[in-house]
């Protein structure tokens, strides 16, 4: 094997997670604080894997009620209908707005589910110290960080529909119990991506290069 890639950690440096300054800690075990911005320094985010798993599991728990509980209850003189995220998608599709059906399906169902699966995959490969396809995994992680917020779409849709459709007693729309679960899924997956340290993807490459054994 060739020599391991020159990473900051192998060279005894630590880069500040806030301002990016490259620092050499006085003691190897205690990185201390960044001399420029004063934030605590760490070679890797502390307890990154454990914290990311915690957020992923919590988000997965909220994912089911978010999709099964109604997000909107529409009351007219004739009837009361409860709609879930999926029934909203089906409604758009059957009324001819297949493009909107696709947007809501992707933003509300596919992105959160894909994000949970992808984060679990990244966590498992990092825990197994896998060296395969690091570039693809790094790109996957950057994509996760970029698209996560779009899942909040349906919460905004519910809010504006609820605020506008107020024709008591003819018709009214009330937010359903699925909404807070839905918001929780989005927030927890954003926090999960924030807690994950992408440098863990690349660390095994340095170890197999020779220093470890």
Residues in 145-184 that interact with another protein by CB under 8 A:
149-150, 152-167, 170-171, 174-175, 179-180, 183
DSSP H helices, 46-133, are 48-68, 85-94, 98-104, 111-127
Which parts of 8-27 interact with another protein (CB under 8 A)?
Answer: 8-9, 11, 13-15, 17-26
Min CB(16)–another protein separation in Å = 9
* Residues 10, 189: Cα–Cα separation, whole Å: 31
> Cα-flanking dihedrals φ and ψ of residue 128, to 5°?
-85, 5
Which parts of 51-90 interact with another protein (CB under 8 A)?
Answer: none
Q: Which stretch binds another protein (CB under 8 A): 57-65, 114-122, 125-133, 193-201?
A: 193-201
* Residues 176, 198: Cα–Cα separation, whole Å: 37
CA atoms in the 13 A half-sphere facing the CB of 16:
15
Min CB(127)–another protein separation in Å = 18
Min CB(64)–another protein separation in Å = 18
Q: Are strands 171-175 and 22-23 parallel, antiparallel or unpaired?
A: unpaired
| Interface residue with another protein, options 5, 40, 210, 212 (CB under 8 A) | 5
Q: Which stretch binds another protein (CB under 8 A): 62-70, 94-102, 109-117, 118-126?
A: 94-102
Nearest to 72 by CA among 206, 148, 182, 151: 182
* Residues 30, 12: Cα–Cα separation, whole Å: 12
Min CB(55)–another protein separation in Å = 15
When asked if residue 139 is in the footprint of another protein (CB under 8 A), the reply is yes
Closer CB to another protein, residue 116 or residue 198?
A: 198
């Amino acid at each position: 094997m060739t020599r391991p890639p020159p990473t900051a950690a192998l060279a005894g440096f630590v880069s500040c997670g806030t301002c990016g300054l490259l620092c050499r800690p006085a003691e190897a075990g205690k990185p201390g604080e960044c001399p420029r911005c004063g934030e605590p320094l760490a070679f890797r985010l502390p307890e990154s894997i454990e914290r990311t798993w915690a957020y992923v599991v919590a988000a997965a728990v909220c994912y089911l009620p978010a999709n099964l509980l109604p997000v909107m209850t529409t009351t007219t003189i004739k009837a009361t209908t409860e709609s879930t995220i999926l029934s909203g998608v089906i409604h758009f599709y059957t009324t001819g707005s297949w493009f909107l059906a696709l947007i809501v399906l992707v933003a509300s169902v596919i992105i959160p589910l894909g994000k949970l699966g992808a984060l679990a995959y990244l966590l498992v490969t990092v825990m197994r110290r896998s060296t395969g396809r690091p570039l693809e995994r790094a790109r996957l992680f950057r994509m996760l960080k970029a698209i996560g917020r779009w899942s909040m779409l349906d919460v905004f849709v519910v809010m504006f529909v609820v605020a506008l459709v107020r024709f008591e007693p003819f018709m009214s729309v009330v937010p359903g119990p699925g909404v807070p679960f839905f918001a929780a899924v989005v927030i927890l997956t954003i926090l999960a991506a924030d807690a994950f340290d992408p440098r863990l993807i690349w660390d095994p490459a340095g170890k197999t290069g020779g220093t470890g054994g």
